Amino acid sequence: MSRPPDVADLVARARRGEHRAVARLISLVETDTADSPGGRAVLREVAAALAPHTGRAHVVGLTGPPGVGKSTSTSALVTALRQRGRRVGVLAVDPSSPFSGGALLGDRVRMGEHATDDGVFIRSMASRGHLGGLAWSTPQALRVLDAAGCDVVLVETVGVGQSEIEVVALADTTVVLLAPGMGDEVQAAKAGILEVADVLAVNKADRDGAARTVRDLEQAVAMGADVAPTGWRRPVVQTVAVRGEGIDELVAALDAHRAWLGRSGDRLRRRRARAVAEIEALTLEQVRRRIGDLRVAGRLADRVAAGELDPYRAADELLGTLGAMGAGGGGV
């Protein structure tokens, strides 16, 4: 085994913006899973060391259907934010087959133009089978970038099912990207997409049908405002990300939303909800591990498979056993 990392030193160096320290910390939270030797001791140490230095970054999630230009939009946003002198983190969460963990869409161009910029931290993360789509370690990776002094962290995923929700759960501000002519599926999903969007961007706005898509969205937004008035009127921005057009407007919309989050108290509410979800997930994962260690679970399953017991009664028994074990079983 290699020497244990000096976490305090890494965090100190990351806070000074050292790229290597940031990369190393993210690697640590990515690889130190519950199954590692030491059972997440390093991850826990990193989490504890980071906590006091977090909460400053504006976390922006980008989501939308495949092909809409998320990668290009992210890159254009990085350029615009850098022009304003802001430090930017990018977490690109790659889609994975639910079966094999292999990436479905393969490697994408990962914003090579920003590779030599000291004020940009870019990281791709695999999405490995954590329920819900985003990698288990994504929240901690966000905290690393936050502690490293990023003003904005952009989280980009593919817009397939569950992963969209997870981005929403992580982000202060969620940008939903659409494009003209994406067909009926987008139309049908629109109502759902509006529920999670803080900012809507119609990318490829130089294409046929852009005006119609924008009008449809604005109408839907106006209707949604009646149903769920939040005090934030969701803007619909038009962009041609590949040429950088409309990106200034997109940045302005993000800034406006950030200001609104602070004014309205929604920022704190969202962060609190996020913390609840994360604590709950970590707790449930630990319970799941304990169940896996229990012989009684296997015996109950045998009886359920044989039709001798129904699964609800079996769960009652399992819960009883877990309760009797108490909470002395070590760390999460």
- Give me the least distance between CB of 99 and a second copy, in Å please: 3
* CA 187/CA 202 separation, integer angstroms: 13
Choices 11-19, 79-87, 162-170, 252-260; region in contact with a second copy by CB under 8 A: 162-170
In Å, how far are 5, 42, 45, 247, 311 from 2, measured between CA atoms?
A: 9, 13, 17, 45, 45
Of the residues 107, 185, 208, 293, which one makes contact with a second copy according to CB under 8 A:
185
Strands (E) across the chain are located at 58-63, 88-94, 120-126, 152-157, 173-178, 199-202, 236-238
Choices 71-79, 82-90, 110-118, 323-331; region in contact with a second copy by CB under 8 A: 323-331
Choices 1-9, 115-123, 208-216, 317-325; region in contact with a second copy by CB under 8 A: 317-325
**279 forms part of the interface with a second copy (CB under 8 A):** yes
Choices 17-25, 216-224, 233-241, 264-272; region in contact with a second copy by CB under 8 A: 264-272
| CA angle at 139 for the pair 269 and 251, rounded to the nearest 5° | 65
**12 forms part of the interface with a second copy (CB under 8 A):** no
| CA angle at 249 for the pair 164 and 222, rounded to the nearest 5° | 65
With H, G, I as helix, E, B as strand and everything else as coil, classify residue 111.
Answer: coil
- Give me the least distance between CB of 1 and a second copy, in Å please: 22
Q: Could you say which residues in the range 281-310 bind a second copy, by CB under 8 A?
A: 282-284, 286-288, 291, 297-298, 300-302, 304-310
Judged by phi (left if over 0) then psi (alpha if -120 to 50, else beta), residue 85 lies in left
Of the residues 126, 160, 221, 242, which one makes contact with a second copy according to CB under 8 A:
160
